[in-house]
Amino acid sequence: MIRLACDYQEGCLPAILERLQETNLVSAPGYGDDEFSERARTLIREACKAPDARVYFLEGGTQTNSIAIHAMLAGYEGVLAAETGHIAVHEAGAVEARGHKVITLPQKDGKITAGSIEKWMEAFLRDPSKDHVVQPGMVYISQPTEFGTLYSLSELEAISASCRRHGLPLFIDGARMAYGLASEANDASLADIARLADVFYIGGTKCGALIGEALVVTNPRLMKHFFTLQKQQGAVLAKGRLLGINFEVLMSGGNYLKAGRHGVRLAQKIRAALIEKGYELFVDSRTNQIFAWLDDEDLKRIGEKAAISIWERRDDGKTLCRFCTSWATREEDVDQVLSLL
């Protein structure tokens, strides 16, 4: 079976396995207090140009989103997000399960705007019964978005300014951050993200790590005693060095960007072929996820040999499919898929 469905199915960068094997019998302090985790935190702070940032390691994206959002919000507050945002669609109500409403905003190509935040806040503040409803407590976006699209630096700056004007912390989901940073269409650096967001995370699971996400907190007023909350929610590994080692390797020698570039290059090869062959794209994604409309014949022919993600079906009978590459995608897999188009 050709593998183009997800970007988290393979294991990890060989260098991570080698490092894990090298350190297998090392006796190190637990719960992330080890030298490997501390080295990883230092590398992350340096990459973000945020020397005072707090860095925490968690196992997966949904866990990171859910616990971080819970830590930032009071019990009566909710989070503003795109109606297609991951926390609103694909996380089984994890945020709501902790008692926080996801307040959805209109989106275009997976993105919200500073204008949509302003419009919602203006309506909220004018509402005479606003004290009777869930209060806005923060804003959530993804970079890249769930459709593989990117926020430009100017868009991020405008959203950040709007959030600060209304006292709303900005949280950026970076599950696929490597593919965003590696895209030729990207103009926002990791340092820009650290400057503009109050909290964000550097995705590992989808970007070459065996396991783990690195949560970065740049606003010192937020999420006090986060480690204690993390422990309370069962999200602290006793052998915390396993997460630290993943990020020690990812953030060394340009490995994170290299992983992203590989996935992006192959995805853009698919995008170019789809356009050349006359397929209709759903959005213009320049990262590692490409969405295209396929008819039943194409779907059957490709589906017999390739694992592709199906998103929705249109009234004209065409199906929206996702082609997703990763740091581990093989060139021959991409070539085989292209031969089926």
Strands, sheet with 54-58, edge to edge from the N-terminal-most edge strand: 54-58, 213-217, 199-203, 170-173, 135-142, 77-82, 102-105
Q: What is the mean pLDDT of residues 94-103?
A: 97
CB atoms within 10 A of CB 1: 9
Query: What pLDDT does residue 30 have?
Result: 95
Upper half-sphere CA count for residue 243 (Cβ side, 13 Å): 26
For 115-166, the pLDDT digits (tens) are 999 999 999 999 999 999 999 999 999 999 999 999 999 999 999 999 999 9
Residues 164-182 as b/e (b if ≥16 CB within 10 A, e otherwise) read eebebbbbbbbbbbbbbbb
For 246-273, the pLDDT digits (tens) are 999 999 999 999 999 999 999 999 999 9
pLDDT higher than 70, residue 3:
no
Query: What pLDDT does residue 305 have?
Result: 83
CA–CA distance from 78 to each of 93, 135, 277 (Å)?
Answer: 13, 6, 45
Q: How far does Cα 52 stand from its chain's mean position?
A: 23
CB atoms within 10 A of CB 76: 13
For 167-184, the pLDDT digits (tens) are 999 999 999 999 999 999
CA–CA gap between residue 53 and residue 134 (Å, rounded): 30
Residue 1's pLDDT band, with cuts at 50, 70 and 90, is very low
Inter-helix orientation angle 331-340/255-276, to 10°: 10
Query: What pLDDT does residue 50 have?
Result: 98
pLDDT higher than 80, residue 4:
no
For 279-333, the pLDDT digits (tens) are 999 999 999 999 999 999 998 888 888 877 788 999 998 999 999 999 999 999 9
Q: What is the mean pLDDT of residues 62-72?
A: 98
CA-CA-CA-CA torsion for 232, 97, 151, 154, nearest 10 degrees? Answer: -80
Q: In the structure encoding, which two tokens stand for residue 60, read together?
A: 């997966």
Residue 5's pLDDT band, with cuts at 50, 70 and 90, is low
CB 150 within 8 A of CB 42: no
Instruction: Please report the domains of the chain, with CATH numbers, ordered by start residue.
Output: 2-7+255-340 (3.90.1150.10), 14-250 (3.40.640.10)
Query: What pLDDT does residue 172 have?
Result: 99
CA–CA distance from 158 to each of 114, 117, 162, 181 (Å)?
Answer: 6, 10, 6, 19
For 9-34, the pLDDT digits (tens) are 899 999 999 999 999 999 999 999 99
* pTM flag (> 0.85): yes
CA–CA gap between residue 316 and residue 340 (Å, rounded): 22
For 191-215, the pLDDT digits (tens) are 999 999 999 999 999 999 999 999 9
Q: In the structure encoding, which two tokens stand for residue 338, read together?
A: 């292209």
